[in-house]
Amino acid sequence: MASLYDFDRDGLAALLEGEPRFRTDQLWRGLWVEGRALADVTTVPAGLRASLATRFPSTLTPRADVASDHGSTRKWVFELADGATIETVLMVYDDRVTVCVSSQAGCAMGCTFCATGQAGFTRQLTVGEVVEQVLYATRAAAPRRLSNVVFMGMGEPLANYRVTVEVVRRLHDARGLSARHLTVSTVGVVPGIERLAEEGLPITLAVSLHAANDETRDSLVPLNRRYPLARLYEACERWVDATGRRISFEWALIDGVNDTDRARDELVDYASGLRAHVNLIPLNPTPGYLVRGSTPERVRAFRDGLVARGVNATVRNTRGRSIDAACGQLAAVTNAKRSVTIRSRRVAPEGRSPAH
């Protein structure tokens, strides 16, 4: 089933054939520029809104709504029209409001440490399904303004390339989000990185590196066998040359696996030439990967070691861990037919305020 947000401006015009031309502007403005729900686009007559609502009901049905970090992190499990489920996470900080969106239901990349990867692939999301996640979070965040969108939920955005790029363009052109505040995170789909470099989008590219030697990376990220580190490096160089933007490397610190001095030195070698920024995060525990994340002391020491060797590095916090909303923990990859129990605390209505 299509989403009203699948349509660009020309698409909406075609949809409204027979209506006065200014209706397209009104609808586009209401939905995209002002980010209103269809029912609230009051410039458009109620009858037309009602018929559009019947033809294009929301593609997202919330099945769970859980909060943590005193309400500043919120996770939704949405059921899509065909019963597939996805997750979306809203994180409210003092200086920014970020939504983490899913680009696929599930993921086919099979990274061993990732709950989404452990559960497998269900299907690609459509433009409308991704945009609706952003708008849902936008409304939940009000009166705070949603400022950042990260493609770090379920799925590999560069394996759903056309949709990812179209969503990025619309969020930038129509919703007015700064390109720098849009982050696409990839496990290292080399052709996708190279293609993205040519799109002329000054977004932030995050590459989930996790290891800078092929043997370790092969064991964590199966895609590394297809696009090994040397090949990935070339694609990263291409990105930096074409866009003038830095790359960030994501590195989930795993006890004894990639948090050693040797792993650090390999990362220094790899990241230095690209002047990449490194984001460290202790591995979040997932059911299918029984290795621990590094201790907070080791995380700090690893960061300090990078910084001392001239690599820009920060430690990301682990928002949403208690509600399985943290990186890699999103695992509602299942059909409604297979029943899932969602371990969660429901949000009390009074606990909803995302403001702080």
Coil/strand/helix, residue 208: strand
Residue written as token pair 């895609």: 223
E-assigned strand segments in the chain: 61-68, 73-79, 85-92, 97-100, 104-106, 121-124, 148-151, 182-186, 204-208, 247-253, 277-282, 312-315
Closest approach of ligand SF4 to the CB of residue 135, in Å: 23
Closest approach of ligand SF4 to the CB of residue 125, in Å: 13
Q: Which residues bind ligand SF4 (CB under 6 A)?
A: 107, 109-111, 114, 116-117, 155-156, 187, 208, 328
Q: Which of 252, 263, 271, 311 binds ligand SAH (CB under 6 A)?
A: 252
327 near ligand SAH, judged by CB under 6 A: yes
Q: Which amino acid is at 161?
A: Y
Q: Which of 77, 105, 114, 257 binds ligand SAH (CB under 6 A)?
A: 114
Coil/strand/helix, residue 84: strand
Report how far residue 348's alpha carbon sits from residue 343's, in angstroms, rounded to the nearest whole number. Answer: 16
Per-position b or e across 104-130, b if 16+ CB within 10 A of its CB: bbbbebbbebbbbbbbebbebbbbbbb
Tell me which residues are annotated as active site: 87, 327
Report how far residue 80's alpha carbon sits from residue 128's, in angstroms, rounded to the nearest whole number. Answer: 11
Report how far residue 194's alpha carbon sits from residue 191's, in angstroms, rounded to the nearest whole number. Answer: 5
Give the single-character DSSP code of 331: -
Binding to ligand SAH (CB under 6 A) within 71-110 occurs at 107
Q: Which of 185, 204, 224, 258 binds ligand SAH (CB under 6 A)?
A: 185
Closest approach of ligand SF4 to the CB of residue 29, in Å: 35
Q: Among ligand SAH, ligand SF4, none, what binds residue 250 when CB lies within 5 to 8 Å by partner kind?
A: ligand SAH
In the bound state with ligand SF4, the residue whose beta carbon lies nearer, of 52 and 111, is 111
Which segment (50-58, 129-137, 183-191, 225-233) binds ligand SAH by CB under 6 A?
183-191
Closest approach of ligand SF4 to the CB of residue 187, in Å: 4
Coil/strand/helix, residue 299: helix
Q: Among ligand SAH, ligand SF4, none, what binds residue 284 when CB lies within 5 to 8 Å by partner kind?
A: ligand SAH
Instruction: Point out which residues bind ligand SAH (CB under 6 A).
Output: 107, 113-114, 152, 156, 185-187, 208, 250, 252, 281, 283-284, 286, 327-328
